[in-house]
Structure 1
């Protein structure tokens, strides 16, 4: 069972979303920053579960930086499920893969990559867009491509130096 239910939003929506579910709130939205993470967090009790509203989420690890861009990237690619009579968007696997690689969570990224490899073509458009908006170290880029079984010209995650044909100065 999940420890909590994460709801991701761009920072511009955090206060409005908090207002809609304020009666379930355990705390108020607050900026949370560590060496690895930056976000605006708030917590809610929902039918025995803890729900976490995560706004403006950014991950930094070993030279890589990934920002969760819900409106611009992820919502358009989200698979929708019905919970009762409510349509709920699920976080795309492409996000989950990059996010969990940067968090060094093999228990998650290995299963995610295996699921993605069964129909990689479905995930490639979002992965390409993520690769254009985040900054991955060469090690992370090669690792993610390797998890997906991509190499050579098929690679999705190329760093800017590689694309420009040399070193950045």
Structure 2
């Protein structure tokens, strides 16, 4: 079985285990990008799951059987989150709660509940037993996040997909820019990547 198949199995198990939890969560990172048609230099090696603080605590309790550590506040030079890790079917799963990035004279915070309700992309996972709908982080989030962490391999690929599908900047991106503190440098970069459209 390939690693991509393992990722799919782990994602289906995750969706089944969190069915009915009543808390919003989203899949992001390389796995979310791949499911939205963004070309990646390497196949995803793990699953990144995002939630707000209380939701992350509830999810951690539901996934305790797979847990490899306890939830901890994680602070680095540019990141803050409530972080925990799991092994599901041999796949590493990272749960990121209350995620915030401070970089490039900008402060960007993930409001997972709002993203879930307003911006997320729905993806249906089917198996022999049933099907589950999961929510993916919007490409607009992934674009901003990867600019802030200086990953041109990611943000250029994401921007190409957004230009192809939407012609450039979207209303979602404009709303994320307004609700966060993005520097002129970052908004200019967004405009350059998205065919010169003003953000």
TM-score over 0.5 for the pair:
yes
Correspondence for 2:83:
41
- 1:73–1:126: 8 Å Cα contact kept in structure 2? no
Deviation at 1:137, TM superposition (A): 1.3
Deviation at 1:74, TM superposition (A): 4.6
Q: Distance in 2 between matches of 1:123 and 1:55?
A: 27
Q: Distance in 2 between matches of 1:61 and 1:95?
A: 15
Which of 130, 149, 157 is equivalent to 1:111?
157
Would you say 1:90 and 2:133 are equivalent positions?
no
Instruction: Identify unmatched segments of 5+ residues in structure 2.
Output: 1-42
Instruction: Identify unmatched segments of 5+ residues in structure 1.
Output: 157-169
Q: Distance in 2 between matches of 1:41 and 1:61?
A: 19
Deviation at 1:106, TM superposition (A): 0.4
Deviation at 1:120, TM superposition (A): 2.1
Alpha-carbon spacing, 1:111–1:97, altered in 2? closer, same or farther (3 Å):
same
**CA RMSD in angstroms, aligned pairs only:** 1.5
Deviation readout 1:76-103 (Å, 9 max, x if unpaired)? 2211112231111111100000000000
Correspondence for 1:56:
98
Correspondence for 1:20:
62
Q: Which has the higher contact order (CA 8 A, sep 6+)?
A: 2
Correspondence for 2:112:
70
Q: Distance in 1 between matches of 2:85 and 2:175?
A: 30
Deviation at 1:122, TM superposition (A): 8.8
Which of 151, 155, 165 is equivalent to 2:198?
155
Secondary structure, in 3 states, of the residue corresponding to 2:50? strand
